Amino acid sequence: MRRMMLAEVEPCLAFGAAGWGALGARLRAIGLTGRACQPFERLAGMAARSQHAPMVKWHLRRSGEPRALAMRMLMYGDPVTPGEARTALGDALPLERLLEAGLLVKTAPGGVRSPYLLRLMGDLFVLSDDVNDGGEAVMGAGPSTRGLARVARPRRRAARALDVGCGAGTLSLWLAGSCDQVIATDVSARAVAFARINVWLNGLTNVECRRGDLLAPVEGQSFDLIVAQPPYVPRDEASPATPFLFGGARGDELTVRLLAGLGAHLRPGGTALLLVEWPIVEGDAPLEERVRAAVGREANCSVLLLQWLDTDIDEHCTRYASIGHAWQDEAYEREAMRWREHFERAKIRALRPTFTVVRRDPAGAALGWTSTVQGLTPAESPTSREQLDRVIAARDLVASGRAALREATLRLAPGLTFAQHGESEAVQATFAGGGLCGPVTINAGAVRILGFVHQAESVKRGLEDFAADQGQTLEDIGEAALEGVELALLHGLLEVASP
């Protein structure tokens, strides 16, 4: 893996909250927003300095506007003249100070650019390293982090949130708008420095950055929400230590350590959400059992795995070996093959992408359920926090027992449609927007039961009405109908009605 000399980020801390705040205000004033950057991010493929970056630069160079100049030197590593830099940044921070601190560096002939990468998460600024530089590089706002952010943000304001392994602080910045307090932790001093800079750059006052290993910086504290994107790539002995990438020889060692401590740091009803690509190793117990064992049976927690199709390990090795290689040369080929050999020796047969969710049971409840949901790929159906909350509420109700299910008010999922083909009794239920898991096939009789339950104030009343419509009693249709309602709830056809 190519290793570049990373610029020292600590001198940039000297600008303090006032200096970085002024710079952020200037960038907003010249119109550097998420909407303005979207066309260029799409062109660049959301990859830092990708093969399409020359086209981004071509378009930006045709404009002398301050926003275009700022994007060139801060976002795409394209040098501008000192005069153009002053046009872009105004009086927020003197150019000489920016050069002295290293936020900008001189290039030949006579240009200046940033050695870091600036990206936007919505309208939030995220400064980070280019991860292609390897080593101690700190990751910023990548595509996977954006997906986790979409699911993590709570629908109701939370009191306290924790971002473990925060990197440049992307998730912490995102959560700051919906939480009273956010604590960002990372074992890397460089990561904590970037996170602190980004807090200042965005003018936030409710995010605190701490250095330490996993949960150690918050010992004895509990949170409503915990988020993490732990490093999960399997590492062979020949690979250099790259903190943002490797999670251990198998790839899941760091994640397992984190899971073991989550229960003690969640408030009752609190949720931890991890984005993990789990190794599927020959001879291992099923993934659901492995995650449950890592969390612990005695932790008063429920566990949900929202998983997608396995990542092919050949594709994985090809993709990750390309980090640090400008061209697919012989060194890249050797690295990809070495990684593949490591997978073979470790008997890793696949990698399973998941949102791994740990939820502390609400006060007074002892639910402790464990469940797996096979979802569509994120590209087919991006997961929202609302969908996740519905899945958890359904499993809470089922774990509470049949008596609670009978008294519950359930409604058909919004936008759910049913289609029966020909003379068959099979009916395909399709979710609006593709849903979380895609279409579900049920029989026509079950559709009628769901319709009665949807219209009633309780499941019991709905089943009574259905039975009466069939000239039967509730005892006649028995527990089978209630089991069907339970299955429909677990498959997302029915949802727990909002209070």
pLDDT digits (tens, 9 = 90+) for 21-43: 999 999 999 999 999 998 888 88
Q: 242-289: per-residue pLDDT in tens?
A: 777 788 889 899 999 999 999 999 999 999 999 999 999 999 999 999
> H or E segment at 392?
helix 385-399
pLDDT over 90 percentage in the chain = 68
How far is residue 208 CA from its own chain's centroid?
A: 20
Q: 317-335: per-residue pLDDT in tens?
A: 888 877 766 556 788 888 8
Q: Where in the chain is the domain with CATH 3.90.930?
A: 402-496
Six-digit token string for 161: 């949130």
Are 311 and 317 in contact, with CB atoms under 8 Å apart?
no
Confidence at residue 381, expressed as pLDDT on a 0 to 100 scale:
63
The b-or-e profile of 451-488 (16+ CB within 10 A means b, else e) is ebbbebeebbbbbbbbbeeeeeebeebeeebbebbbeb
Q: Point out the least confidently predicted range of 91-95, 109-113, 380-384.
A: 380-384
- pLDDT of residue 227 exceeding 80: yes
Q: Is the pTM of this model over 0.75?
A: yes
How far is residue 261 CA from its own chain's centroid?
A: 20
Q: Point out the least confidently predicted range of 144-153, 410-419, 435-444.
A: 435-444
Q: Where in the chain is the domain with CATH 3.40.50.150?
A: 124-399
402-496: which CATH topology? Answer: Outer Surface Protein A; domain 3 (3.90.930)
Q: What is the mean pLDDT of residues 213-230?
A: 96
> Three-class SS of residue 462?
helix
Strand partners, 163: 184, 227
Confidence label for 48 from pLDDT (cuts 50, 70 and 90): very low
* Long-range contacts of 253-260, Cβ-Cβ distance < 8 Å, separation of 24 or more: 254/214, 254/230, 255/230, 255/294, 255/356, 256/294, 257/214, 258/164, 258/214, 258/215, 258/228, 258/230, 259/291, 259/294, 259/295, 259/356, 259/358, 260/294, 260/295, 260/296
Q: What is the mean pLDDT of residues 136-159?
A: 90
Confidence label for 63 from pLDDT (cuts 50, 70 and 90): very high
- pLDDT of residue 134 exceeding 90: no
Confidence label for 1 from pLDDT (cuts 50, 70 and 90): very low
> H or E segment at 294?
helix 287-295
Confidence at residue 451, expressed as pLDDT on a 0 to 100 scale:
95
pLDDT over 70 percentage in the chain = 95
Confidence at residue 244, expressed as pLDDT on a 0 to 100 scale:
77
Torsion-angle region of 90 (φ positive above 0: left; ψ -120 to 50: alpha; else: beta)? left
Confidence at residue 379, expressed as pLDDT on a 0 to 100 scale:
62
Confidence at residue 238, expressed as pLDDT on a 0 to 100 scale:
77
* DSSP H helix total and E strand total for the chain: 18, 19
Averaged pLDDT score across all residues of the chain: 90
What CATH number does the domain located at 124-399 have? Answer: 3.40.50.150
Q: What is the mean pLDDT of residues 449-464?
A: 96
Q: 332-354: per-residue pLDDT in tens?
A: 888 889 989 999 999 999 999 99
Are 234 and 248 in contact, with CB atoms under 8 Å apart?
yes
Q: State the Cα–Cα distance between residues 209 and 101, nearest whole angstrom.
A: 21
Confidence at residue 376, expressed as pLDDT on a 0 to 100 scale:
73
- pLDDT of residue 17 exceeding 80: yes
Confidence at residue 234, expressed as pLDDT on a 0 to 100 scale:
86
Cis (ω within 30 of 0) for the bond into 109? yes
Confidence at residue 2, expressed as pLDDT on a 0 to 100 scale:
46
* Long-range contacts of 100-103, Cβ-Cβ distance < 8 Å, separation of 24 or more: 100/11, 101/11, 101/12, 101/14, 101/15, 102/7, 102/8, 102/9, 102/11, 102/12, 103/12
